[in-house]
Amino acid sequence: MTAKTVRIALLALGLATPALAQEQSILVQSTTSTANSGLYDYLLPIFTAESGITVNVVAVGTGQAIKNAENCDGDVLLVHAKPAEEKFVADGFGTTRTDLMYNDFIIVGPPADPAGIKGMNDVQPALAKIAETKAPFASRGDDSGTHQKEVQLWSESGADPKAASGEWYRETGSGMGATLNTGLGMGAYVLTDRATWISFENKQDYEILVEGDQDLYNQYGVIPVNPAKCPSVKTAEAQAFADWLASTEGQAAIAGYKINDQQLFFPNAPKQ
């Protein structure tokens, strides 16, 4: 969606004039990985320059972001836990959900690799080996999208790490960056999204040990909050942002964000 198209849409709804376009703003309830990776720092100035809409971001775990949006604290939801996102829409809190982009999860760990999982591309057996050897594992434990994926993978592995909570299995209750720092401090394995890992500056001697399993696929979605549930939602501006992210231009901008020549997110919104 171009700047002209966005402004015409706002004017048609009586929500802006060209002189006031720069005063339009929305609040996005977001997962932390999109913020911590620097993606918003790259994307949002492009959108604002074109639309005149300022985007403010609250970056929390996906579970908390969804709760915040359900409490009408936000205009757009951008997270990565598809079943929870679909429930958000089914319960009437979101208008429509659109696939936006993807990357993947990885398991990182120390070079000593006490569980012997380096090079594995089947994540459930890798987790089972961690549990069997009681090697330290740091979990976010915060109902984020990453934590929800981790819980699913543990369940599929046949291991029950919760039984070892506080022992070899440590729940930080923190964001991804803080959990990585905790993991490094205790020599623990950590499940992380690749974008956060690429942008993480305190890697020390840690390395990627498990990657490439299709079960580690990490899909992101964008959902405007439903004004029928939340009358204060800035409907036109929220839809303009969601439309731009899914547009050819927005998708190209997502693909163009790189760190050290590594692409962090891969756009896959349906063709408009």
Residue 17 has pLDDT above 60, yes or no: no
- Same domain as 87, residue 35: yes
Average pLDDT score over the chain? 92
Residue 146 has pLDDT above 80, yes or no: yes
- Same domain as 201, residue 240: no
Residue 19 has pLDDT above 70, yes or no: no
- Same domain as 209, residue 231: no
Instruction: Decide if 194 is inside a domain.
Output: yes
pLDDT at 115: 98
pLDDT at 16: 47
Give the rounded percent of residues in the chain with a pLDDT score beyond 90.
90
In DSSP notation, the chain reads --HHHHHHHHHHTTS--GGGGGGEEEEEEE-HHHHHTTHHHHHHHHHHHHH-EEEEEEE--HHHHHHHHHTT--SEEEES-HHHHHHHHHTTSBS--EEEEEEEEEEEE-TT-TT--TTB--HHHHHHHHHHHT--EEE--S--HHHHHHHHHHHHHT--GGGGBTTTEEE--S-HHHHHHHHHHHT-EEEEEHHHHHH-S--TT-EEEE---GGGEEEEEEEEBPTTT-TTS-HHHHHHHHHHHHSHHHHHHHHH-EETTEE--EE-PPP-
Residue 13 has pLDDT above 70, yes or no: no
Instruction: Decide if 271 is inside a domain.
Output: no
- Same domain as 194, residue 147: yes
pLDDT at 187: 98
pLDDT band per the 50, 70, 90 thresholds, residue 23: low
Residue 15 has pLDDT above 90, yes or no: no
- Same domain as 248, residue 207: no
At 84-132, the pLDDT tens digits run 999 999 999 999 999 999 999 999 999 999 999 999 999 999 999 999 9
At 223-242, the pLDDT tens digits run 999 999 999 999 999 999 99
Instruction: Decide if 94 is inside a domain.
Output: yes
Residue 171 has pLDDT above 70, yes or no: yes
* Structural domain count, the chain: 2
Residue 4 has pLDDT above 70, yes or no: no
Q: For residues 75-92, give the mean pLDDT.
A: 97
- Same domain as 110, residue 206: yes
Cα dihedral: 194, 198, 201, 202 (round 10): 50
CATH number at residue 92: 3.40.190.10
pLDDT at 121: 94
Residue 140 has pLDDT above 80, yes or no: yes
Residue 6 has pLDDT above 70, yes or no: no
pLDDT band per the 50, 70, 90 thresholds, residue 81: very high
Range of the domain at 158: 104-216
> Which positions ≥6 away from 148 have C-beta within 8 Å?
62, 63, 81, 84
- Same domain as 205, residue 123: yes
Residue 1 has pLDDT above 90, yes or no: no
- Same domain as 197, residue 186: yes
- Same domain as 201, residue 114: yes
Q: For residues 188-208, give the mean pLDDT.
A: 97
- Same domain as 229, residue 160: no
pTM comes to 0.88
- Same domain as 232, residue 202: no
Residue 182 has pLDDT above 70, yes or no: yes
At 37-54, the pLDDT tens digits run 999 999 999 999 999 999
Type of residue numbered 229: K
- Same domain as 241, residue 192: no
Instruction: Decide if 270 is inside a domain.
Output: no
